[in-house]
């Protein structure tokens, strides 16, 4: 991918986040899911303790993951890619207006380089991006880069980037939601 394409891609991502802060979602499609656990006794008021009661499946990109009970999953096309939001619908964790304040978001876009993605590769195209505490993990059998960063408002984020099947997956949530996000990603499967 050329430097210009990567810079345009980075600008598109920033525009997506800015649009979310300013105006929220333009359009979304809610997904309904089936319950697999009807004897759950977990406290639903704590977003970190919500069980994974169903599965979200995305046939367009060929993956699925466990959907926490009490969470809504929606998606929309934005900036040349797809944004998938996983949000705790009953939470009042903060007053931030970011899409991923009470959950996390997944941005998926075409990517014509093989993985795995590295810190050096990201910084080549987005040199001013804050990347720290990085480590390699596995998500759905793919090598992924797990790191701490900051959003445009200075909030600390946990990000996980990976490449699969010609697409770049950028998964992002606030650091205080990291535990639940990692729990969900452990259930990720590519078909």
Give the range of the structural domain holding residue 182, as residue numbers without chain letter: 3-28+50-190
Q: Which residue has the higher pLDDT, 62 or 50?
A: 62
- Spatial neighbors of 143 by CB under 8 A, at least 6 apart, are 115, 116, 136, 137, 162
pLDDT in tens, 160-181: 999 999 999 999 998 878 888 8
Which of 159, 130, 126 lies closest to 145 in space, CA to CA? 159
pLDDT of residue 6: 61
- Structural domain total, the chain: 1
Report the percent of the chain where pLDDT is more than 90: 47
Rounded to whole angstroms, the Cα distance separating 154 from 183 reads 25
The confidence score (pLDDT) of residue 19 equals 42
180 part of a folded domain:
yes
Confidence of residue 117 (pLDDT cuts 50, 70, 90): very high
User: Which residues pair with residue 162 across a beta bridge?
Assistant: 144, 169
pLDDT at 2: 61
Which has more pLDDT, 107 or 7? Answer: 107
Model confidence at 128, pLDDT cuts 50, 70, 90, reads very high
Question: Domain for residue 43, yes or no?
Answer: no
Please indicate, yes or no, if residue 36 is contained in any of the structural domains: no
User: pTM for this one?
Assistant: 0.70
Contact (CB, 8 A) for 157 and 164: no
What pLDDT digit, counting tens, does each position of 18-30 carry? 444 333 333 333 3
Please indicate, yes or no, if residue 182 is contained in any of the structural domains: yes
The answer to the question of residue 33 being in a domain is: no
pLDDT category at 97 given cuts 50, 70, 90 is very low
Q: Is pLDDT of 62 > 90?
A: yes
In 34-102, where do the E strands start and end? 52-58, 63-68, 71-78, 81-88
- Does residue 17 lie within any of the structural domains? yes
Any domain includes 45: no
The CATH number of whichever domain residue 74 belongs to comes to: 3.40.1000.10
Residue 40: inside a domain, yes or no?
no
């Amino acid at each position: 991918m050329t430097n210009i394409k990567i810079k345009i891609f980075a600008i598109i991502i920033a525009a997506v986040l800015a649009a979310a802060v300013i105006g929220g979602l333009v359009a979304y499609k809610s997904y309904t899911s089936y319950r697999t656990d009807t004897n759950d006794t977990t406290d639903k008021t704590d977003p970190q303790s919500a069980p994974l009661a169903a599965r979200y499946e995305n046939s367009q990109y060929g993956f699925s993951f466990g959907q926490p009970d009490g969470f809504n999953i929606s998606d929309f096309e934005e900036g040349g890619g797809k944004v998938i939001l996983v949000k705790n619908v009953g939470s009042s964790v903060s007053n931030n207006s970011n899409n991923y304040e009470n959950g996390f978001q997944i941005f998926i876009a075409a990517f014509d380089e093989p993985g795995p993605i590295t810190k050096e590769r990201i910084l080549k195209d987005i040199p001013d991006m804050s990347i720290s505490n990085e480590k390699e993990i596995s998500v759905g059998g793919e090598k992924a880069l797990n790191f701490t960063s900051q959003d445009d408002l200075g909030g600390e984020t946990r990000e996980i980037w990976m490449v699969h099947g010609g697409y770049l997956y950028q998964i992002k949530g606030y650091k205080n939601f990291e535990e639940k996000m990692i729990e969900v990603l452990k259930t990720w499967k590519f078909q």
